[in-house]
Amino acid sequence: MAPLFTGIAKNLGGLGFGRLGVSQVVFNSISVVLWGAGGGGSQQDPLYGGGSGGFVSATVPYATYSGETFYIVVGGGGVGGSRPNIPAKTGGFGGGGPSGAGAYENGSGGGASYIRLTNGSGTVLLVAGAGSGGNGYSTGPSATSGPPTTVFLKAGGRGGGPAGEGAAMYDFPGGVGAGGGTQVAGGRAGDGKPPGPPGTAGSFLQGGTGGSAPGGGAGGGGGGGYYGGGGGGASDPTRVAQNGGGGSGYVNPTWTAITNSYSPNPYTAYPHPLAVPGIARGANNTFAGYNGEPGYIVITLEGPSPVSYTYPYTGAAETLVIP
């Protein structure tokens, strides 16, 4: 955690303003912005890649959480696929779903960025969903067996919003692709193209696992989220694998949501003045190792002398005591 201090608060650091009895430091609200991580991609053409991480912006009265401890997780980017995709690729920190294993590549899902109260099992406050691993086809906000309908047909499902982006089933009429996570359930498991097996469904804060096929294409891992996206199914030896679904975003009802959305496209982070380079993008074949970019969080205590705390990806959970 790298705190950015302004005004009088810069001399107080993270020492706990209440314990010092400094009455002139006054806060009226807490503002938070979060980006989920991007999914891993592949060595295919630039359109075959992981989905981007979602974005959440929200605010709450300061008094609501004064004295509470925020448990902070910044999602890790999904791991890019290899050829052969053995072993399966580990999902990004923060609940990214692993890819399957197979003769042909697919990436793992990125991890969600989120804040809970107190510890890893406390009340969930805010979640920015993550993008899925990609090397197949995606479409729309939910699973579908129809033809792809978005311009980013070959990228993994984007994370974020009330429902993450689902995947279309490629070259298997009647099959159904992996679903995006929603507000109440993980995304459905994506069907495999026979004899390739299906992936697994997403779950609370966890993306599903891609299907494995020793001689075929590995399924992409689902993106982490409030509910994770489903894992993509494996393919037959025709090589075209199925993408996972993106994870959903979430804003606890105690907060006022400003934005809960996915990025405009898989290869850019959601635009915001506090964004920094190297976050939230799904990876294509122009990325080193085809690895997705990590998430990012900024927490600001608003008032006459605001205090901001920035949280880049570290691979470990952190805590912040709200003074």
DSSP string, 234-300: P--TT------PPPPPEE-TTSEEEEEE--SSTTSPPP-TT--TT-SPPP-TTSGGGPPPP-EEEEE
Q: What is the mean pLDDT of residues 208-218?
A: 90
Tens digit of pLDDT for each residue in 232-279?
A: 999 877 666 788 999 999 999 999 999 999 898 888 899 999 999 999
Per-residue pLDDT at 304 exceeds 90: yes
pLDDT for 9-22, tens place per residue? 333 434 344 333 33
Q: 173 pLDDT exceeds 90?
A: no
